[in-house]
């Protein structure tokens, strides 16, 4: 049995709405990414010197991402657990 043109249009509208909902959910998940701070900002948060924080990063006590010549630390990683 062939679908009528109206049924095909309704089916396409539903698919478009489903895709839009999926896109919105993915965008919400992307917004949950943690904020990153520099070593200097991390030092201020931890009330330590920048050199101390740098040593903690190099020793593995604090995880950091090396972006070019800068380290970025997730604020989430600085919170006390």
Chain centroid to CA 45:
20
In this structure, the answer to whether residues 3 and 18 fall within a common structural domain is yes
Q: Look at the chain and report how many structural domains it folds into.
A: 2
Model pLDDT for residues 11-38, shown as the tens digit of each residue: 999 999 999 988 888 777 666 556 889 9
Whether pTM > 0.75 for this model: the answer is: no
Residues 1 and 28 in one domain: yes
Q: Residue 30: its pLDDT value, please?
A: 63
Alpha-carbon torsion 32, 33, 34, 38, what sign?
Answer: negative
Same domain, 44 and 73: yes
- In angstroms, rounded to a whole number, what is the distance separating the alpha carbons of residues 33 and 29? 8
**For 38-47, how does the pLDDT look when each residue is reduced to its tens digit (9 = 90+)?**
999 999 999 9
Centre a 10 Å sphere on the Cβ of residue 11 and count the other Cβ atoms it contains: 11
- pLDDT the model gives residue 41: 92
Res 1 pLDDT > 60: no
Q: Tell me, yes or no, whether 42 and 17 share the same domain.
A: no
């Amino acid at each position: 049995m062939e679908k009528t043109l109206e049924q095909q249009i309704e089916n396409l509208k539903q698919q478009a709405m489903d895709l839009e909902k999926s896109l919105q959910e993915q965008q919400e998940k992307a917004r949950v990414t943690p904020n990153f701070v520099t070593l200097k900002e991390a030092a201020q948060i931890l009330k330590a010197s920048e050199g101390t924080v740098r040593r903690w990063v190099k020793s593995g006590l604090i995880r950091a991402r090396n972006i070019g010549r800068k380290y970025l630390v997730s604020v989430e990683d600085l919170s006390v657990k």
